[in-house]
Amino acid sequence: MNDISPAGSNMATVEDCTLVALPKIQFDAGNITPVQSEMEIPFEIARVFYLYDIPGGERRGGHAHKRCHQLLVAASGSFDVELDDGRSRRTVTLNLPDRGLYIPPGIWALQTGFSSGSICLVLNSIEYNEDDYIRNYDEFLALKGVQK
């Protein structure tokens, strides 16, 4: 799997972050959206978590990953995802539970503007590993080879 470590080859851009249409199976009693590894999303799922009860004005994320691929879904409500590759920035609004935002390694992502009662579902390609996180923006730029 690609990464952005000094020997890695992934130089992902914000244009590599794509919206993924997830299946929506409709019933009179409600809808269901199944998500399967390497079918609806381009990676095998190793970890799932969700963010909820986010106070108004709070921000989440604010980091990048070296190896982890992610899919973010607004399971309920809405929020914005600010994407940054060190050279370009782009903001994507998530507000449908059958649409996900694919984020490859090497993208700085920040979630903002959470609506009341929103739930952010996150699917990851690797299990939690603190060494995979880049939490310092200057370090992120250095790994991406970007001069300040």
**Long-range pairs for 5-12: beta carbons < 8 A, 24 or more residues apart:** 5/66, 5/67, 5/143, 6/143, 8/66, 8/105, 10/104, 10/105, 10/106, 11/106, 11/144, 11/145, 12/85, 12/104, 12/105, 12/106, 12/107
The reply to whether 19 falls in a domain is no
Of 128, 125, 127, 126, which Cα lies nearest the Cα of 41? 125
pLDDT tens digits along 40-63: 899 999 999 999 999 988 999 999
The reply to whether 7 falls in a domain is no
The reply to whether 33 falls in a domain is no
The reply to whether 134 falls in a domain is yes
- CATH number for the domain spanning 99: value is 2.60.120.10
The reply to whether 71 falls in a domain is yes
102: containing domain: 40-144
Model pLDDT, residue 10 = 53
The reply to whether 133 falls in a domain is yes
Tally the domains of the chain. Answer: 1
Cα–Cα distance for residue pair 94/82, rounded to 1 Å: 11
Known catalytic residues?
63
Out of 9-18, 54-63, 85-94, 105-114, pick the least confident.
9-18
Out of 4-8, 66-70, 86-90, 111-115, pick the least confident.
4-8
The reply to whether 97 falls in a domain is yes
The reply to whether 59 falls in a domain is yes
pLDDT tens digits along 68-103: 999 999 999 999 999 999 999 999 999 999 999 999
